[in-house]
Structure 1
Amino acid sequence: MDISFGKYSNKTTKCVIYGLLNDKNIMILKDNIEFNKYKDVCNKNFYDMMNDYVSKISKLGINVVTEKYITKVLSINNSANFELKSLSTHKKLITFEIAEDISKLSSEIVLKKGCIVTPLAKDVFAEKKNKLIFI
């Protein structure tokens, strides 16, 4: 919502707004939009209002995408040795399958403090020499 008003409220919104001001391609993961988790339980009018804000930021050129889409785009661009400097996810649990997907995208994976990384996922990151950063 802050992005749709051009308001810096944290590092993420500042980065997105800076990117828009500099005509950069911005993608936001749909799973990381908090209100989507409450679709079935929240007030319908409030949910619709939040969806309107997502529509506003989409009109600004921000692409709301899924992890599957990003994986597909990056696998296509991998032939050009394209790699993200770092990848951030707000997932609370990183399983083997998730680790397999995201370990290919970046050498640096940023996770929230308290995120649980299963032993098999840790093995994947170690094998691919991914650096895990908890913030």
Structure 2
Amino acid sequence: MNLELITNEVFNRIIEKINQHQTEIEAIPGKKLLQCDDMAMAIPGYEAVMLDTLKDKNDFLGYEFLVISKLTVDEMSASVNGVAINDKTRALRQFLLTGKDVYVLEEGLEYRMYKAIANPVFYNVFRDHEKQLELCGVRIMSSVALESMLISEEKAVLPKTEKKETRAEPTIVNGLTTVKYSTVKKLINYELAKKLAAEPNIVLKIGTLVTPYANDVFKESNTTITFI
């Protein structure tokens, strides 16, 4: 019996198994996010795909969420009314219709550039459009806040039922009552703020993100926010 031949045969079989396993790993599709415009975001665990590179701009299957870095006044007005005027607004509409998350970077909202010089009444028309988008499920925040939120969500392994909770009940540990938070969500948008503002005082976890218009809701309702 040739020991060298046996050794080579065993080695070749091991290499074959390794290559087969590697092929199976590469075949497993990763999570993908769809991005518009020219801003590329690097989110661990996600493959970023630019809308302009898609051959079929009507097929959005397989994408977890949509990120829009720029939204013109025309695109905002059209989207509020469910009208698609280009590939971007068509993608935004389709993602909302299919129940997927849409994120718009607040620094990319064109109408905000005119805040200092615009007619106040006319400016408020677009401010209302922004609120309408948030009510429709669009989440508007800064790029830094978005990256931080997505990275933290990717790191945190939480059951889906826990993400749906809006209030954390107090628990007792060693005879001491822990803090009762008004919500366990990491992002407070306009819609959630309106619900929370029913209480004069709310308690949020340190690091919770509050959108500008959500903050306006709390100010108008004289709600006191405590971060613990």
TM-score band (shorter)?
0.5 to 0.7
Partner of 2:142: 66
Distance 1:37 1:61, change over 3 A: same
Structure with greater proportional helix content: 1
Distance 1:21 1:77 in 2: 23
- Compute the TM-score of the two structures, normalised by the length of structure 2: 0.34
Alignment correspondent of 1:22: 98
Taking every aligned residue pair, what percent have the same amino acid on both sides?
Answer: 21
Q: Secondary structure at the match of 2:83?
A: coil
1:37-76 → structure 2 map (5 Å cutoff): 37-76=113-152
Structure 2: give runs of 5+ residues left out of the alignment.
1-76, 157-228
The residue number in structure 1 matching 2:211 is: none
Match of 1:2, SS state, is helix
RMSD (Å), alpha carbons: 1.4
Residues 71-116 of structure 1, C-alpha deviations (whole Å, 9 max, x = no match) = 2023324548xxxxxxxxxxxxxxxxxxxxxxxxxxxxxxxxxxxx
- Return 5+ residue gaps in structure 1 as ranges: 81-135
Structure 1 residue 12: deviation in Å?
1.1
1:1-135 equivalent positions in 2, closer than 5 A: 1-77=77-153, 79=155
Give the whole-Å Cα distance in 1 for the aligned partners of 2:132 and 2:139. Answer: 11
Name the SS of the counterpart of 2:103 in structure 1. Answer: strand
Structure 2: how far apart are the matches of 1:62 and 1:75?
A: 19
Aligned residues: 80
1:85 is aligned to none
* AA aligned opposite 1:19: F
Question: In terms of Rg, which structure is larger?
Answer: 2
d(CA) in 2 for partners of 1:62 and 1:79?
A: 23
| Structure with bigger RCO (C-alpha 8 Å, 6+ apart) | 1
